[in-house]
Amino acid sequence: MVGGVSTVMIRRLTLDDLETVVALEARNRAAPWTEGVFRDELAAENRIYLAADEEGLVGFGGLMLVGDEAHVTNLLVDPARRRRGIGLELMLALIQAAVPEGARHLTLEVRSKNEAARGLYARLGLVPVGIRRGYYGDDDALILWVHDIDVDEYRERLEGLR
């Protein structure tokens, strides 16, 4: 177990999760990743994919490590399980796993209208540093960053969120 909240266990995402993950993604995304994309991601180097498990997979998230940067590639929680800290717990576990791999900075793109995700990322200290207009067609992408995720001060900030 990498981390956990109440009855939720955070663990590595594996090929055995593919069917559930693909179904969850298909139900909840306008442009869902296909099984092929998930297979490629799980097979690729420098990726960390974690699952939130509560008698079955209820969420997942992933990172790509590029030099000393960690890029969040995907994060999704089952709509029936949202607002219970699972997304936060996934992000905390991803960061915890990325830092020993050399990550010092964290970045991602988020839809400007995605209030839930923006709220979550703000809790983690991610701030908008740029905008890609029309990136999602119907919405702009905000480019978020948080630097120095490997220092004690940031670790303490995360401890405060747990």
Ligand X SMILES: CC(C)(COP(=O)(O)OP(=O)(O)OC[C@H]1O[C@@H](n2cnc3c(N)ncnc32)[C@H](O)[C@@H]1OP(=O)(O)O)[C@@H](O)C(=O)NCCC(=O)NCCS
**Which residues bind to ligand X, rule: CB under 6 A?**
75-77, 82-88, 108, 110, 114-117, 119-120, 123
Shortest separation between residue 68's beta carbon and ligand X, angstroms:
21
Q: Which amino acid is at 88?
A: L
Nearer to ligand X, 17 or 152 (CB): 17
Shortest separation between residue 50's beta carbon and ligand X, angstroms:
12
Q: Quick check: 8 and 58 in contact, CB under 8 A?
A: yes
Shortest separation between residue 58's beta carbon and ligand X, angstroms:
9
- Match 């990550």 to its residue by tokens: 103
Nearer to ligand X, 133 or 152 (CB): 133
Q: Which amino acid is at 114?
A: N
What does the alpha-carbon distance between residue 55 and residue 38 come to, in Å, rounded to a whole number? Answer: 22
State the Rg of the chain over Cα. Answer: 15
Nearer to ligand X, 35 or 135 (CB): 135
Among all residues, whose Cβ is closest to ligand X? 87
The values of phi and psi at residue 73, to 5°, are -95, -30
Shortest separation between residue 36's beta carbon and ligand X, angstroms:
20
- Match 């905008």 to its residue by tokens: 131
